[in-house]
Amino acid sequence: MGRKFFIKTFGCQMNFNDSERIRGILRTLGYEPARSWEEADLILINTCTIREKPDQKVLSHLGEYRKIKEKNPKALIAVAGCLAQRMGWELVKKAPVIDIMFSSFNMHQLPELINQAQAGYKAIAILEEPPEDEDKVWEFPTERDNPYCAYVTIIKGCDKRCTYCVVPKTRGRERSRSMESILEEVRRLVDEGVREIHLLGQNVTAWGRDLEKPVPFSELLYEISKVDGVERIRFTTGHPKDLTDDIIDAMADIPQVCNALHLPVQSGSDRILSLMDRGYTKEFYLERVEKLKEKVKGIALSTDIIVGFPTETEEDFEETLDVVRKVRYEQIFSFKFSPRPGTPAAEMEGQVPDEVKTERMTRLLELQKGIMSEIAKTYEGTVQEVLVEEARDEGTLVGRTTTNRWVTLEGDRSLLGKIVKVKVKKASPFNLDAELLEVVR
């Protein structure tokens, strides 16, 4: 009977991509996926610490998972990711049930950490800096949930110093992966049937600046587009300051680059943006948006917004609503400000009461709900190209447009992995109901 693993992932797409690689590492060690944590020999939680809520969820799950030791004393409990990096041994003291702990710096050390834990030691490997052999992680396979769309991490860490953010501490400085290593993974993925490549980084548009011979991110987009079989390219998450004209031109010029972009604004108030140390103004951000809309036909934009940053006034919040009205985002990821230990914003005076944050969040979501409904209606009657990714009920398929809209259509499983043209019959904010017109390729 083979050993089984169970992975619970919190947080961003980077974490989900890390979990795919951890699955690949565990597969090389002979582990099989468990159907539930109750039957696992190794339970691993890949953590996020961007806000307080995920921290609490991790401790809650650890409390639940400790029960496994009663029926399987040799079972191992592991914690990976950003919370592990931020808290270190403090987390082990809070949850002594942890056998293994590591961060995104040293995923490649998991095999030896498992050996240590099986020998009865606490295998805790939290490093101050990324190790010299960090790139060994790219040698391991990834095991993906989606056979047609794949995440590819191209840069780790962040050199920005946003006053609310723990990422520079938990993920370290920016480290670009070599173009050769990225293209090698892209070619392998295409050979396995992947049609859409989604490039990932805490600040993906900063890729290439720290290489021995600096390379602009736009050049990487061109090189990936030349790989035979790459049908679509997306990238997340960039910083508005790093969205240079050459990147916008490349998005317009390369057919495979999707006309969708996540561009975090965080606030529309220049005063709050300055306190956040975001490095741009509302005017600069809107100018980038205008250029994107002018160059990239039909671009769909999404964003992140923090509500209730310290000292945020009603006037500041109105500036944020003004940005939302002007840009007309297809999707907004909004969060109430959550003070993170060790960040400058956590110590700022003028913390906004929670009831004020809640009231402002309600107004923001109400505004966005109306915009999303209006945008959805513009899809009705249009013809869209869809990559078919999943078969649900008998005869029901699900895919996405280039603008990252989910589409439901009727068809058989032979269409999986195909790019098809559909006509949108009915549109809601979160789904387009469509009929198949033809298979494109």
Q: Is residue 246 within 8 Å of 257, Cβ to Cβ?
A: no
- Residue 1's pLDDT is 58
Mean of pLDDT over the chain: 96
Band the pLDDT of 47: cuts 50, 70, 90: very high
Q: Is residue 79 within 8 Å of 91, Cβ to Cβ?
A: yes
First to last CA, the chain: 43
Helix (H, G, I), strand (E, B) or coil at 334: strand
Rounded Cα distance between 64 and 413, Å, is 39
What region, left, alpha or beta, does residue 328 occupy, with left being phi > 0 and alpha being psi -120 to 50 degrees? left
pLDDT for residue 394 is more than 90: no
Q: Which helix (H) or strand (E) holds 332?
A: strand 331-336
Structure tokens of 180?
Answer: 């050769």
Of residues 65, 147, 128, 79, the one with CA closest to residue 107: 79
Helix (H, G, I), strand (E, B) or coil at 61: helix
- Domain range 4-125, CATH architecture: 3-Layer(aba) Sandwich (3.40)
Q: Please give the average per-residue pLDDT across 146-173, as a whole number.
A: 95
Structure tokens of 367?
Answer: 């505004």
Of residues 74, 87, 88, 84, the one with CA closest to residue 46: 84
Residues in the chain: 441
Would you call the peptide bond into 205 cis, given omega within 30 degrees of 0 as the criterion? no
Structure tokens of 420?
Answer: 């098809």
Rounded Cα distance between 366 and 430, Å, is 15
- Residue 52's pLDDT is 85
CB within 8 Å of 329: residues ≥ 6 apart: 301, 302, 303, 368, 371
134-376: CATH superfamily: tm_1862 like domain (3.80.30.20)
pLDDT for residue 5 is more than 80: yes
Q: Please give the average per-residue pLDDT across 305-316, as a whole number.
A: 98
- Residue 309's pLDDT is 98
Query: Largest alpha-carbon pair distance within the chain?
Result: 63
Rounded Cα distance between 295 and 253, Å, is 9
Percent of the chain with pLDDT over 70: 100
The conformation of residue 212, written as its DSSP 8-state character, comes to S
Of residues 225, 241, 317, the one with CA closest to residue 272: 317
What region, left, alpha or beta, does residue 230 occupy, with left being phi > 0 and alpha being psi -120 to 50 degrees? beta
φ, ψ for residue 385 (rounded to 5)? -90, 130
Structure tokens of 21?
Answer: 């690689």
Q: Please give the average per-residue pLDDT across 306-312, as a whole number.
A: 98
- Report CA Rg, the chain: 22
Rounded Cα distance between 106 and 127, Å, is 8
Structure tokens of 197?
Answer: 């490549």
Percent of the chain with pLDDT over 90: 94
Rounded Cα distance between 298 and 404, Å, is 12
Q: Is residue 101 within 8 Å of 79, Cβ to Cβ?
A: yes
Lowest mean pLDDT among 168-172, 285-289, 352-356, 400-404: 168-172
- Residue 374's pLDDT is 97
Q: Please give the average per-residue pLDDT across 173-197, as a whole number.
A: 97
Q: Is residue 49 within 8 Å of 335, Cβ to Cβ?
A: no
Q: Is residue 186 within 8 Å of 227, Cβ to Cβ?
A: yes
Rounded Cα distance between 34 and 346, Å, is 40
Structural domain spans, the chain: 4-125, 134-376, 383-439
- Domain range 383-439, CATH architecture: Beta Barrel (2.40)
Token pair 């298979």 is found at 439
Rounded Cα distance between 168 and 159, Å, is 7
What is the crossing angle of helices 314-327 and 354-379, to 10°? Answer: 10
- The string of DSSP letters for 394-422 reads TTEEEEEETT--EEEEE--GGGTT-EEEE
Rounded Cα distance between 389 and 375, Å, is 23
Of residues 67, 77, 69, the one with CA closest to residue 42: 77
The residues facing 125 across adjacent strands are 102
- Residue 411's pLDDT is 94
Q: Please give the average per-residue pLDDT across 156-180, as a whole number.
A: 95
pLDDT tens for 6-37 read 999 999 899 999 999 999 999 999 999 999 99
The residues facing 336 across adjacent strands are 307
